[in-house]
Structure formats: structure tokens, C-alpha cells
Amino acid sequence: MPAAAAAAASLVLFAPSRSSSSSSRRTLRRPSLIPLRRATVAPSRPRIPRLVAVHAAVAIEKETPEEERPETFLRAADGHHGAASASVRARFERMIREAQDEVCAAIEAADGAGKFKEDVWSRPGGGGGISRVLQDGGVWEKAGVNVSVVYGVMPPEAYRAAKGEAVSGNGNSSVKAGPVPFFAAGISSVLHPKNPFAPTLHFNYRYFETDAPKDAPGAPRQWWFGGGTDFTPAYIFEEDVKHFHRVQKEACDKFDPSFYPRFKKWCDDYFFIKHRGERRGLGGIFFDDLNDYDQEMLLAFSTECARSVVRAYVPIIERRKDTPFTEQHKAWQQLRRGRYVEFNLVYDRGTTFGLKTGGRIESILVSLPLTARWEYDHIKGGGCTHLILMSMDARRKTKQSVSVISRA
């Protein structure tokens, strides 16, 4: 998945389901038990977002390296003093920076040897980010945890799509044509362990706003949230799958019992490699263009999801990081890493958008593993893909195949 700047900025391509000015907000309900179901290989048809041909017309200033982390990347008008410090922009920035610190500390503690390298950057017109990468550590081959705050300008057709307006045949709409300022902030991370029995993790949480166009000052501001957490094992341990999804469900159920089944399906549909007919991993949760709930509730929900990353992932790493493995196990992991690369470079919204619009390349491509592998006709007889579900008795160092999911 993309770096935070690219992922957050990519939201201009996808219109929200409802306007933030809508007076209809959903109410919260008491949690209910929702059974976990294993992801099937053949997905249902995903929701198709409305696309806008933005291309390179989105203007994002080039970054400038900085020696020290600033207290905030927000512009003075959005700053951290007085009433501005209570804005959603300011609170979301504080949340993602705290989450970055928490995740990086947990990763370094579990790794035991590697340390994150940090790059701080800013942009002249406001905004910036902190990129942290750990490479060739004791546990992780590559771990990236990035935050960014982005100010930019998008073309008027993107703004009309964000408002859900249709353009008439003569090109007129209720909003005059003109550049539309936008704000985006997010945290994005991909963690690739060395041990083939330890899963890769991705998470991303972002907030997006559009300001009124300069030639239409009375137009309403739009906002929405997006994000998710998912994991991609090469070898699948049933207890790890249950633990990971249980944490996602617990985070969702604190706010709405419909969130977990809804966002789990969304995740299954999104992380699908169409040209392979395969899922990238074993899912988690994913949501985008979310603004049909109270804004404060969605800020709290995004915060809870970001804070649940460590407890969802680190216990799995602690169980698997020292598991003995062979060269054959490693080769299979590398083949699965190849699928990860294919998805990110071909289908991932944030990665492809960032590459087309001049985003920070090192941050965009931090999601890719250091090593991957492609073999011609790896599995004979129709190219079946097998996901082996295994449980391991750590005391006896024995393995037992629980089940095999295959695609003919």
C-alpha cells in the first residue's frame, strides 16, 4: 500500500457516498456477535467508485528536506494554537504522529537489532511529512511507517464529483469552474518480515477535505475518512488469522456492529489481483470516502483502528519470528511477495496516483519489499495457487496441515 502522502492525495479520484453537509447521520447501535468467515477465493463484485480524470493536473509542491521534526505541518491558519488546535485537521495530525511513534517503538522492540532511519520533509506552501524506514533488521527485511500532511489544488471536475454534481451538456454546473484547494493527512505503513512464517502487514488511515473554490466562496467544504488494516501471510496459521480479525472486529464493534462485516468485505474486494484471479492476502478491514456518520465519531473510529495495529500484529510476530524455515519456505515467500508487488504497482490507488502526480517517490515505493521472485509456470497443471493453512506445535517443532485452499 502507498505512502501516506500518495494514499491521502489519491482520495480526489473517488467521490464520497454522501455530502458532509447532509443532515442525515446514522445512529450507533449496541454491539452484536458477528461470526468470522474465511475469505473465499472468488470475490463478489466490489463497489465501483466514480472516477475522475485528474492525471497530473493535481498540483502538489515538491518537498524540501528538513533537519528537525516541526511541532506541526499545518499552515498557520490551521495551526496548533487556540481554537485551531481543536480542529479535525489538527487532531488528526496529532493522532497519526502519535500512532507513528507507537508503531515504530513496538517494531524496534520486537526486532531487537534494527533502528528506523527518519527523513523529515516539508513543502513551501505548507504541509510535509516524516518517513521512517527500517531495513535489514533482526526480524524485518523492510518496515516503513510514514505520515504526511498535504495541501494541493485539484481541477473543478474532481470537485464536482466530490459534491456528487452532474455536469450538463453545455458544461455548466452550480459551481463555477476553477481550481479547488484540498487538504489531506494520513499515516501509511507496510511491514515485511524476514521469516516466511511471519506475515506482512499493511495499514493506512487518512483524512481529506476540499476547500471552497476561489471563484465560488460560498460552496460547502467536503470531507471524508478512509483507511484500513490488512495482513498477508505466505503460510497461514489459523490462530493468527483468528487473532488478527478478532482485534479488527473489536475495534469496529465499539462504534457500529455493521462496520466489521461491511469493511471486511470491502477489504476482500479491494485487495484482489484481477489478472491473477487471486486475493493479495487474508484481508482485514478497508473503508474509503466515509462521511455518512458524525465527523467526531469517524475521527474517534479512525483513532481506535490506528491504535489497534500493535495489538493485532505484534503478538503474531512474536510467535513466528524465530520459527525455523528452509530455503523452500523462503522461495515460496518470495513468490508471494511478487504478487504483493504486482498489486501495488498495477491496482493500488495511492501508489498509481502518486506516481502520476509527482509525489515523493521514496515514500510511495516504501511499500515494496526488498526482494521478490517470479518463476515461469511455477505450479504445473493449470497454474493453481495453494494457500496452506498450518498449525505448529512449538514444543515438538512439528507441522500439521489443517486445510488447503486451491483455485483451479
Neighbours of 43 (CB within 10 A): 17
CA 243, 247, 252, 257 torsion-angle sign: positive
202 is annotated as an active-site residue: yes
How far is residue 213 CA from its own chain's centroid?
28
The residues facing 65 across adjacent strands are 121
CA–CA dist 402, 230 (Å, integer): 22
**Alpha carbons 22 and 222: distance in angstroms, whole number:** 11
* Distance (Å, whole) CA 69 – CA 86: 21
| Cell representation of residue 372 | 521478490
Cβ(155)–Cβ(177) under 8 Å? no
Counting Cβ atoms within 10 Å, is residue 354 exposed (0-12), middle (13-18) or buried (19+)?
buried
Catalytic residue among 80, 81, 202, 245: 202
- Which residue type, as a one-letter code, is found at position 275? H
Q: Return d(Cα 183, Cα 124) in angstroms, integer.
A: 15
Q: Are 13 and 353 in contact (CB under 8 A)?
A: yes
CB 384 within 8 A of CB 407: yes
Cα–Cα dist 218/226, whole Å: 26
Task: Please calculate the CA angle 123-210-120 and round it to the nearest 5 degrees.
Answer: 25
The amino acid sitting at 330 is K
CA 39 to chain centre: 19
User: Do strands 140-154 and 180-193 pair parallel, antiparallel, or not at all (unpaired)?
Assistant: antiparallel
Distance between CA atoms of residues 150 and 6, nearest Å: 9
Of 408, 407, 388, give the one whose Cα is nearest residue 399: 388
10 burial via Cβ count (<10 Å: 0-12, 13-18, 19+): buried
Q: Hey, which residues are catalytic here? A: 202
